[in-house]
Each structure stands twice: as C-alpha cells, then as structure tokens.
C-alpha cells in the first residue's frame, strides 16, 4: 500500500496533478536586467510552470538561476547567433530574446492566451517586439504582461 500525501496546495493535494487551471509563466530578459529578473523569479510560486529566456553577450556570461522545478531556463548567447536570416550581421541586443519569446509563445499559446503571466525586461528592441507579437498576433491581454514602465508599452503611444 502506498502512502498518500495529504498536504493542500492551492486547492489540490500534493499527490494530484492540477491541470484544470494551469497558468504558464513566460519570462525573458538580458544581462542588463539580471538582478531584477532574479528578484522576480523569487516571487514565483513553487508550482509555477513555464519558460525563462536570458540573453547574454557570450557563453562566458551564462550563470545559474534559481527557478521552480517546473520552469525551464534557456541561456541565449548573442555571440553564438546571427542577426536576421540572410543578413550576414551579428545578433543585436534584444534580438535573441525576442525571437525566443515569439517562437515559444507561437507554439505554446495556441489556446487560452489569458492563462499566462509575462515578464519582459532588457533592451527595448527585444521587449517591444515580443510585446507587440504577444498582444497583436496572439491576442494576449496587456494586463498580464509586465514591461519596464519607461518603455510605455501597453499604453497609448
């Protein structure tokens, strides 16, 4: 006979999966906002699921982030990436994070885009491109997307 855990965790027992109301977290930033990104990660619930993308200059800049067990962290060194396909240029700041957010969201947010919380930080180019794709193309509500206030995204521009 197996022992069952009876501790409650947001309305379900620890030995049960709660697939009824799963909220995804999508977090992206670059090396310029690493302290803010790390602080934000500490506020996530232990049962959080989703993806974290961190754009850095090179593989030498890759570190360790503490995230909930169901979160996946992907480091994106610009030095290992190219710019726009066929352009022959190197990856610009914000470009790798924006591409990663758009690719993940395009695949993972096919249904229920309102059941996501998004945190975008770093270079304006990446944040604005990702924000525009999420809101205009996927219909994600601006209410669930957090961006740096100075960028004034989600307000009348």
Residue 11 has pLDDT above 50, yes or no: no
**Residue 64: CATH number of its domain:** 3.40.50.80
- Residue with token string 């180019």: 125
> For residue 11, is it within any domain?
no
pLDDT at 39: 96
Please tell me the distance from the alpha carbon of residue 57 to that of residue 78, in angstroms, as a whole number.
5
Domain range spanning residue 126?
24-83+90-147
Give helix then strand counts, H and E, for the chain. 3, 7
pLDDT digits (tens, 9 = 90+) for 65-115: 999 999 999 999 999 888 777 777 889 999 999 999 999 999 988 766 668
The string of pLDDT tens digits covering residues 104-153 is: 999 988 766 668 999 999 999 999 999 999 999 999 999 999 999 999 99
Q: Is residue 18 part of a domain?
A: no
In this prediction, residue 33 carries a pLDDT of 96
Q: Residue 1: pLDDT above 70?
A: no
In a domain, 13, yes or no: no
Residue 125 maps to a domain: yes
Q: Is residue 133 part of a domain?
A: yes
This model's pTM is above 0.75: yes
Average the pLDDT over 28-45 and give the result: 96
Contact status, residue 60 vs residue 31, Cβ threshold 8 Å: no
| Domain count for the chain | 1
In a domain, 156, yes or no: no
Tokens of 129: 């491109």
Give the separation between CA 80 and CA 4, rounded to whole angstroms: 47
């Amino acid at each position: 006979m197996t022992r069952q855990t009876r501790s409650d965790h947001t309305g379900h027992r620890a030995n049960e999966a709660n697939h009824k109301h799963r909220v995804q977290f999508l977090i992206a930033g670059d090396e310029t906002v690493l302290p803010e990104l790390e602080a934000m990660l500490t506020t996530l619930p232990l049962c959080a699921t989703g993806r974290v993308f961190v754009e850095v200059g090179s593989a030498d800049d890759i570190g360790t982030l503490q995230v909930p067990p169901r979160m996946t962290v992907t480091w994106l060194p610009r030095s290992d990436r190219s710019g726009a396909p066929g352009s022959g240029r190197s990856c610009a700041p914000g470009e790798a994070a924006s591409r990663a957010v758009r690719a993940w969201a395009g695949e993972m947010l096919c249904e229920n885009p309102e059941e996501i919380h998004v945190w975008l930080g770093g270079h304006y180019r990446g944040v604005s491109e990702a924000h525009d794709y999420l809101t205009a193309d996927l219909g994600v509500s601006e209410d669930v997307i957090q961006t740096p206030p100075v960028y004034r995204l989600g307000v009348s521009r």
